[in-house]
A and B are shown apart, each in its own frame.
Chain A
C-alpha cells in the first residue's frame, strides 16, 4: 500500500473554462505549432479579406453613366457595368415586351416548389410529379410562345440567367426518368439489358461534356436523315440529358442497392409485377433515399451549363463574357464580369448544397458519435 509521507505541493487553481481567454487558448494558441498556424492563418486573412472587401464593396462604383466614372485612382469594382445591362444578364436577347412570360413561369415554379419544403404538405409526391411533368410543358409554351396568342420567341433569343435555369431544370427533368430506367437496367437480371445499361452509363461517364456538346451541336445532323432538324438548344439539351442520365443512374443505383432484399421479396410475394413492385414499393423508397445525391448531381449539372458558352449559346456567363464585353464604350471590365457570374452561380450552388446537407442529416438514421 502506498502512503505518502509528505504534503503534496499545491496545485494551481483550475483553469478558467469559460470566457474568451480560455477559448482563445484552447482553439488558437494551444501549442507552438498551433500558434504559428494561427498567426499564419490570420496573416493570410489580413492579406486577402480587406483588399477584397475594398474592391468589391467600399471602393466599388455602383452607378455610372459612362465608363470614365468607374475609372480612376483607388476605384474598385465597376458594378455599374453589370447593373446598366442587368436585363440582358437576366434574359439575354429575349424581347423586353415579352419578359413577363419567363417571369410568370419562374414565379409559378417558386410557388409550386415552396410547399415541397414544408414538412406537413400532403401528397408531396403528386406535387413533385406535377413540377417534373406538367409544369415544364406549361413553361415551355409560355416562354416559347407561338400558340394561345403569344408571340413566338425563338430559342436563339433566349439567354442570360433565364437560359441557365431553363437548361439545368429541363436537363434534370429529362435526365431523371432516363437515369432511373438505366439504373433499373443495370440491376436487371437480363444479361443483354444489363450490359447495354452498363456500356451506356460508362460511355457517357467516361467522356468530357465538352466533346458531347460539340457532337450534339455540330455533328448530330450528320447522324440523322437529311432534312431532320432540331433547334440548337434542343440539340444541346439532348447531349446534356444523355450525359446527365448516366450520372443520375449511378446515384439511383446506390439507392436501389440500399433497399433491403426483403422489400423486393415482399413485393413479389404480394403478387406485384416487376413494374408495379418497382413503382409502388422500391422506387419510392430508393428515390427518397437518394435525394441528397440527386441534388448534388443537379448542382454539378447547374455548374456544367456554363459550357454551353463554348457551343455558342448565351447563358449568363456567355452574356457577361461575350455580349457585355463587346460594348466598345465599356471596355476593360472583364474581372467584374467573371466575379459577378461566379457570385450568381455560387449563390445557387451554395444554397442547394446546404439543402442537400440538411436532407442528409434528416435522412441519416445511422449511429453517429
Chain B
C-alpha cells in the first residue's frame, strides 16, 4: 500500500478511521458476516426446535427403508421392495433422461426454426415466425397440460394399437419397441465397437493433421463409418448373430415385453422442446444476424454454396454469440422439467419430493436433497458450456 499521499507532510493527515474506505469495507463485511451468521443460526435453531417440538423424525436413515410403492418408469431395476434411496436414484435418472433428450430435441428444433425464420422463402419464414411468437408467449404449464391431453387423445386404445411390421406398437399406454436381448458372444461385438471408437478418435486426429499439412481432407466420414458400423457388424455376423429380440405382445390389458416408452415422456418432451425451441430459435436468429453480412458475401464470392456458407462460415461465428444465452436455455429446460409432476411423469420432484416426502414426512432433508440435485445439474451444464465456449471462442493468431 504505497500511497503517495502518505509521504507528503503538506497534505491533510489520514482521514478519520470511519471515513477510510478500507476500514469501512471491513466494518460492513464484518456486520454482514455477523448478520448472516445470526440469520442462519436462528434459521437452523428454529427449524430444529420446531421439528423437535412437533416430534418429526430427522436424519437420513429413511433412505435405507423399504419404499413400498411402485413407480411408472424406471431406468434401473426398481420394485416396491426397493429403498427410498433407490426412489431418489430413479427420480434423478428420469430427470436426467428427460433433460438430456429435451436438450437435444430443443436444440434441433430451435436451430431449424431460427434458420427458417431467416429463410428467403416467405412461407417458411412466416411459419417459423408464427411458431416462435406463439409458443414462447404461452406458459409452459398450459402447454404441458395441452400436449398431454393431445397425446392421449390422438392415440388409440391398447386393443386398436397402431402397429408397424407387428414389431412396433403405439397406443394410449405408450410406444412399444422390440428390446434387444444379448446372448453369449455379444461381448465380441461390443469390444469391436469400443476398438472402433478409439480408432476413429485417432483417425480424426490424423485427418486433421493431414489437412493442416497438405490441405487435403481425407474422407473421414467414410473411415468412421467403416470403423464404427461395418467392422462391429462383421464381428457380429462372424460370431453368429448373438442377439435376439424381445417383441412386445398383447396380453390381457396391454402389451408386455419389449421396451415401453410412456406417453407422459412423449408429452413432456414435446412440451419442453417446443417451448424451449422457440427461445433457442430467437437466440440462433440473433446470433446469425450478428455475423457481419460481409462474411457471407465473401464466402459466396469465393464460391461456397449457401449451405456451405451457413455451415462453414456463418454458424461457427454465430455460435460465439449464441452459446451464452443457449446455456441459460438449457438450464431452464432442466429446471422446467420439474413441471413433470403436472402430467404424472415420475421425475425427481414427483417421485422423491412428492411421494417419498409424503410417506416419510422428512420435508427438510428431502427438499434439500432435491434442490441439491438441481444445483449440481445446473453447475455441471454451466461448466460444460463454459468449457465449450472457451473452445469455440476466437483464437487470435
Touch between chains A and B, by CB atoms below 8 Å: yes
Residue of A nearest to B379 (CB): A206
With A44-B127, A45-B127: A210-B43 Cβ-Cβ less than 8 Å = no
Which residues in chain A, 22-62, are within 8 Å of chain B measured between CB atoms?
Answer: 26-28, 30, 34, 37-38, 41-42, 44-45
Is B336 an interface residue, CB under 8 A from the partner? Answer: yes
Encoded as 1 (CB less than 8 Å from any A CB) or 0, chain B from 120 to 137 comes to: 111110010000011011
Is B173 an interface residue, CB under 8 A from the partner? Answer: no
Interface 9-residue window, one of A3-11, A70-78, A130-138, A185-193: A185-193
Contact A214 B141 (CB under 8 A): no
Is B250 an interface residue, CB under 8 A from the partner? Answer: no
A219 to chain B, nearest CB (A): 6
Is A167 an interface residue, CB under 8 A from the partner? Answer: no
Q: Which residues of B contact A334 (CB under 8 A)?
A: 149
Q: Which residues of A contact B139 (CB under 8 A)?
A: 303-304, 306, 317, 342, 345
With A214-B353, A223-B43: A309-B141 Cβ-Cβ less than 8 Å = yes
Chain B residues with a Cβ closer than 8 Å to the other chain, count: 54
Is B194 an interface residue, CB under 8 A from the partner? Answer: no
A214 to B370, CA, bound (A): 12
Contact pick for A208, options B28, B293, B335, CB 8 Å: B335
Is A226 an interface residue, CB under 8 A from the partner? Answer: yes
Interface centre among B49, B338, B374 (most CB of A within 10 A): B338
Interface residues of B: mostly helix, strand, loop or mixed? Answer: helix
Interface 9-residue window, one of A121-129, A149-157, A258-266, A346-354: A346-354
| 8 A-B pairs closest in CB distance | A349-B137, A41-B123, A206-B378, A208-B338, A303-B139, A27-B122, A208-B335, A192-B29
Contact B121 A310 (CB under 8 A): no
Contact A222 B363 (CB under 8 A): yes
Which residues in chain A, 298-322, are within 8 Å of chain B measured between CB atoms?
Answer: 299, 303-304, 306-307, 309-310, 317, 321
Contact A369 B293 (CB under 8 A): yes
Encoded as 1 (CB less than 8 Å from any A CB) or 0, chain B from 25 to 69 comes to: 100110011001000001100110111010000000000000000
Encoded as 1 (CB less than 8 Å from any B CB) or 0, chain A from 224 to 243 comes to: 11100000000000000000
Is A215 an interface residue, CB under 8 A from the partner? Answer: yes
Contact B338 A190 (CB under 8 A): no
A45 to B42, CA, bound (A): 61
Contact pick for A37, options B124, B143, B374, CB 8 Å: B124
Chain B residues in the interface with A (C-beta under 8 A):
25, 28-29, 32-33, 36, 42-43, 46-47, 49-51, 53, 119-124, 127, 133-134, 136-143, 145-146, 149, 292-293, 331, 335-336, 338-339, 341-342, 349, 353, 363-364, 367, 370-371, 374-375, 378-379
Question: What are 20 pairs between A and B in contact, CB < 8 Å?
Answer: A37-B124, A38-B123, A42-B123, A44-B127, A189-B25, A193-B29, A206-B374, A206-B378, A207-B335, A207-B375, A210-B349, A211-B349, A221-B50, A222-B50, A225-B42, A226-B50, A335-B146, A342-B138, A342-B146, A369-B293
Is A144 an interface residue, CB under 8 A from the partner? Answer: no
Contact pick for B341, options A28, A218, A310, A341, CB 8 Å: A310
Contact A208 B363 (CB under 8 A): no
Which residues in chain A, 7-21, are within 8 Å of chain B measured between CB atoms?
Answer: none
Contact A190 B43 (CB under 8 A): no
Contact A306 B137 (CB under 8 A): no
Chain A residues in the interface with B (C-beta under 8 A):
26-28, 30, 34, 37-38, 41-42, 44-45, 189-193, 196, 202-203, 205-211, 214-215, 218-219, 221-226, 299, 303-304, 306-307, 309-310, 317, 321, 334-335, 338-339, 341-342, 345-346, 349-350, 353, 369
